[in-house]
């Protein structure tokens, strides 16, 4: 049994989250530069250790693509080339950054934490992955 990896892909940074092996919970792991993501995935995960990868799909309120859609699609294509047989799912990522910022605020996090985009990116990836895991349980 493997883990799921959640990605919040951005033009500069990508937040990364991982599930536990039972696919019950999501945990924020780190944020790295998007240009280093593929290298990071290759060095951090073995194909056999993964159930699959969840990528946040950037959308506007009306459902149309955003400027971030191109980055997410690029990463999707690169992962497919790296691991052609891996399961990759898209999850609507609307509001995940806002939810992560609100969670930091409600938890009483200090101002410097709330302004740290890197921490918010990994929290957003965690929300994306948690959304997938929740939908998976309901099916």
pLDDT of residue 109: 55
Which structural domains are found in the chain, ordered by start? Answer: 3-138 (3.30.420.140)
User: Own/partner pairs for 57-61, CB < 8 Å, 24+ apart?
Assistant: 57/90, 57/91, 57/92, 57/93, 58/9, 58/93, 59/92, 59/93, 59/94, 60/94, 61/94
Q: Please state the pTM of the whole predicted model.
A: 0.84
**pLDDT given for residue 88 in this prediction:** 97
Low-confidence ranges of the chain (pLDDT < 50): 114
pLDDT on residue 103: 56
**Which helix (H) or strand (E) is 19 found in, with range?**
strand 13-19
- pLDDT reported for residue 114: 45
> What's the confidence (pLDDT) of residue 102?
56
Answer yes or no: are the C-beta atoms of 31 and 124 closer than 8 Å: no
């Amino acid at each position: 049994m493997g883990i799921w990896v959640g990605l919040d892909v951005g033009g500069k940074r990508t937040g990364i989250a991982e599930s536990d092996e039972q696919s019950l919970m999501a945990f924020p792991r780190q944020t790295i530069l998007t240009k280093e993501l593929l290298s990071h995935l290759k060095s951090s995960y073995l194909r056999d250790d993964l159930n699959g990868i969840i990528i946040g799909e950037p959308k506007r309120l009306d459902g149309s693509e955003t400027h971030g859609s191109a980055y997410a699609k690029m990463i999707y294509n690169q992962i497919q080339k790296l691991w052609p047989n891996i399961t990759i799912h898209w999850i609507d990522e609307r509001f995940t950054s806002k939810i992560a910022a609100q969670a930091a605020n409600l938890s009483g996090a200090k101002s410097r934490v709330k302004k740290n985009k890197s921490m918010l990116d990994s929290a957003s990836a965690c929300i994306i992955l948690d959304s997938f895991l929740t939908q998976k349980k309901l099916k």
